[in-house]
A and B are shown apart, each in its own frame.
Chain A
Amino acid sequence: MTDRLLKRYSYNVTANDFMSAGKGSSAIKSNLKSLGIDSNIIRKIAIISYETEINIVIHSFGGKLHCDIYENKIVIISEDTGPGITDVDMAMKEGFSTATDSVRELGFGAGMGLPNIKKYSDQLEINTSSTGTTIIVTIYL
């Protein structure tokens, strides 16, 4: 019964709200810390959940960030409504970014989001359409 969901933590993420960006992922991080999960796993999840959260803020109309805890894995899910990713292959390339100049001026949109998510994940699934995107990232414990 290792694939039973033990707990889901969920956070709303608001589009273009750079003040609150990162709150969801830091709440996930502190929850995982108090669960006593290995610090190297937490670091991977911190990076993944931060990047996915920022992606929702920059590119979508808003969405949710979930962290699902299983006995053998942790799954980060980001669901957003928005225009979707036009070219997933391009988006996976380091340095490729569709972020606007105003976003870049804030220090975001360096084109490392998805490449970093992939780098630290064990499994990555991207479902995207013109109405929104769901990203499912799995890290095995």
Chain B
Amino acid sequence: MNFSIMFDENKCRGCTNCMKRCPTQAIRLIDGKAFINTAKCIHCGECIKICPYNAYTPESIEWYNEMHDSPKKYKIAIPTTSLYGQFPRGTDICKVQNSILKLGFDFVYDASWAADLVAKAIKLKIDKEKTVRPYIATYCPAAVRLIKYRYPSLMDNLILIREPMEIAGILSRERARQKFNLKDEDIQVFYISPCPAKLLAVTNPIGDYKPSVDWVIPLNKIYGELYREVIREDNLTCSYPSLSGMKWAVAGGQSEHAELKNYLAVHGMENIIQILEEIENGKLSDIDYVEASACVNGCVGGTFNVVNPFIATSNINYISNSLEDECINPDIDRFDEMYESGFFNYKLKEEERTGKLNLKEAVERHERIKEICDMLPGLDCGSCGAPTCLAHAEDVYNNESEFYDCVVLRVKK
């Protein structure tokens, strides 16, 4: 399992919606069917959201088999913070974690507990290290991939503090090993995810570490079963998320939780692109922290959620405004010790460098592509199978497409 977006060719009508929506131009139509170039895909899920024929399914059933049939002794679930926004008003959210156990897990480590730790680490790093401004959050894997492919000079601005999912994985594994005398191989960690991008963070992290999470479960795939357990009339023991940690599900929640005063929360693909352009132009260096999420409203906008992102935001705010924080965070007392030992830090994975650039050849290539592009009608209609005329010109130059795939020119010919 390393690619999270499944595609059903029979459902695809070649309408070009996904191709035009894709922020990295990773999609082409080949013989009238969409095709994702996995090397360029940042797993943001925009294609899943926009496809009118549901040709894309964010589904992989491998996690299901693993969850139910794998011989591993100990199964840990880490629910995303956005899960708490998915239930109707008045639902006893303190029953959520124990309901997850009833689905067949041995232990639940809430992502919000890990967020408590990460928020403190972010605050300390921002207060201590003042040379990089703004720091950019690394908790939306799609936003981070967008930076990697389109704004590589901003990689130095990424705040390299491990994400809550990862921290939750490490700490819950550690607990299981110590408490039940288990080996690491006997333990499996499942993350209940709001979006397909989290899978990428698990299979191909930007950091130089082995991820602690093994499987990603799409939230919507277990929601039904889970909800039935949550509303069942029985005496499940209460277990609370951290209410401030839960707010990571909503754009701006990280910064609030870390008690930052000078931050910018931006969400939605087009919006984060605009802000990243600004930072690249040398602007926004008077801001400490930029929280960028690819989905509208933050993680509650991820494609695996069941509730509209605005309703989920309202739900989360309602819970945090109306409940007392009764969370007993299992690891918060160890924070100082963890921070001192460098537990939260990591380095970026070394990427292979491309060969030395021959600028003369690059200019010639660029000119040739421009010549081809100038002959095209400039309608960006997508009928040729590329998202824009310029993209088609590049494909033609790279021998990946025929010039006369352009429908407009073919009619004129």
Contacts and interface: CB of A to CB of B under 8 A. Distances in A.
Interface stretch (A35-43, A77-85, A129-137): A35-43
Contacts of A50: 281-282
A116 B239 CA distance: 53
A71 interface: yes
Interface in A109-141: 116, 120, 141
Contact of B359 (A22, A31, A35): A35
A40 B357 CA distance: 14
B366 interface: yes
Interface string B142-154: 0000000001111
Interface residues of A, number: 26
Interface in B125-173: 151-154
Contact of B367 (A7, A39, A43): A7
A43 B153 contact: yes
A19 interface: no
B379 interface: no
B280 A6 contact: no
B134 to A, nearest CB: 14
Contact of B357 (A7, A22, A26, A37): A37
B362 interface: yes
Interface string A63-93: 0000001110000000000000000000000
A141 B359 contact: yes
Contacts of A71: 359-360
A29 interface: yes
Contacts of B363: 6-7, 35, 69
A72 to B, nearest CB: 8
Nearest to A120: B282
Summarize B's interface: helix, strand, loop or mixed: helix
A31 B366 contact: yes
Interface residues of B, number: 17
Contacts of B359: 6, 35, 37, 69-71, 141
Contacts of B357: 35-38
B360 A35 contact: no
Contacts of B153: 39-40, 42-43
A40 B155 CA distance: 10
Contacts of B152: 39
Contact of B280 (A36, A37, A46, A51): A46
Interface string B338-358: 000000000000000010010
Contacts of A69: 359, 363
Given A39-B153, A42-B153, A71-B359, A34 B281 contact: no
Contacts of A51: 282
A36 B281 contact: no
Nearest to B156: A40
Given A7-B366, A37-B362, A47-B281, 5 more contacts: A6-B363, A26-B281, A42-B280, A70-B359, A71-B359
16 contacts: A7-B366, A26-B277, A29-B280, A29-B281, A31-B366, A35-B366, A36-B362, A37-B357, A37-B362, A38-B357, A39-B153, A42-B153, A43-B154, A50-B281, A116-B282, A141-B359
